[in-house]
Structure formats: C-alpha cells, structure tokens
Amino acid sequence: MRRLVMMLAAMSLLMGAVAYGKTNPASAAAKKDKLEAARVAEEKGDLDRLHKDYESAISHYESALKVNTKSAVLYNKMGIAELQLKERALARKYFGRAIKLNPQFFAPINNMGVLDLLDRRYRSSINFFKQALALDETNAHTHLNLAES
C-alpha cells in the first residue's frame, strides 16, 4: 500500500512537471493576437502622425505600448507626437525612455538635442548631437542640427 501511494505521488509529480514545461496553445495564440493588435495600433499611429492628427497618434501609440512596453521606437514616436503638440516635458520623458531602453538608437538622442536646442540649452544640445553622430555619422539631419547649435 505504501509503495502504491509513493508511485502515485511520483507519477503525479512527473505529470505536473511535464505540463508545467509546455505552453498553452491558446495563450500563445492570444499573445500573438495582442502583438498583431499592437503592430496595427502602431501603424495607425504612424498614419495619424503623417496626417498631423497627433492626439489620435498618441492614443494609438499608447495602445501599442500597453502590449510592447520595451519598444524604444514606440517611445521615440510618442515623443515626436508630443513635441508636435508643444508638450516638451512629455516629449523629453518619452525620448529619455527610448534612450534608456536602447542607448544605441540615435533618433531619440538626436531628438533630445532638438529639444535642448528649442529650449536654448546649446551646450547640452551639442552634446546630444555629437552622441547621435557617434552612432550614425551619415545622418544629415543631425549634422544640420549640430551646425544650427
């Protein structure tokens, strides 16, 4: 009897371990659907930003960020939209998050330089532009921004 109980306990542990290692197909499909919805929301935000509907773009980007919280590209796009709405503090916050997530992504670094240039913080803007050029020395916009500083 004791041996039977031990065998049943061992089998239940093994069954639990096997089930633990597998992913639920339904949850994998749900995650794939969420990622697709985030991609669509980002594309809608890009279209809205192209058509200068920045509030709507921000709304779409926020939806995408709920799923994809570690996207430096999305945070940079949010910062651009906020900058277009003259919300410099929010733009700075989003560019900072993008830089924190991906320090090698030159666009938010360049955008921080633009913010500092607009705020007449010339030394800081020059430093940001030099950092951006160190990452992508062929970017003409950054060269122009540096010359303007």
Whether residue 43 contacts residue 50, with contact meaning beta carbons closer than 8 Å, is answered with no
pLDDT tens digits for 110-128?
A: 999 999 999 999 999 999 9
Res 129 pLDDT > 90: yes
| Residues near 63 by beta carbon (within 8 Å), at least 6 away in sequence | 37, 38, 41
Q: What is the pLDDT of residue 145?
A: 86
Residue 124 neighbours by CB under 8 Å, 6+ apart? 113, 116
Q: Which residue has the tokens 């200068």?
A: 52
Q: What pLDDT, on the 0 to 100 scale, is given for residue 30? A: 76
Percentage with pLDDT > 70 across the chain: 83
b/e code 49-77 from CB counts within 10 Å (16+ = b)? beeeebebbbebbebbbebbeebbbbbbb
SS3 105: coil
d(Cα 61, Cα 91) in Å, to the nearest integer? Answer: 13
Tell me the one-letter amino acid at 33: D
- What pTM did the predictor assign? 0.79
pLDDT (tens digit, 9 = 90+) per residue, 94-105? 999 999 999 999
Instruction: Output the six-digit token pair for 48.
Output: 């809205």
- 80 and 91 Cβ atoms separated by less than 8 Å: yes
Question: Which DSSP string corresponds to 4-34?
Answer: HHHHHHHHHHHHHHHHHHSPPHHHHHHHHHH
| pLDDT of 53 | 96
pLDDT digits (tens, 9 = 90+) for 19-38: 444 556 667 777 788 889 99
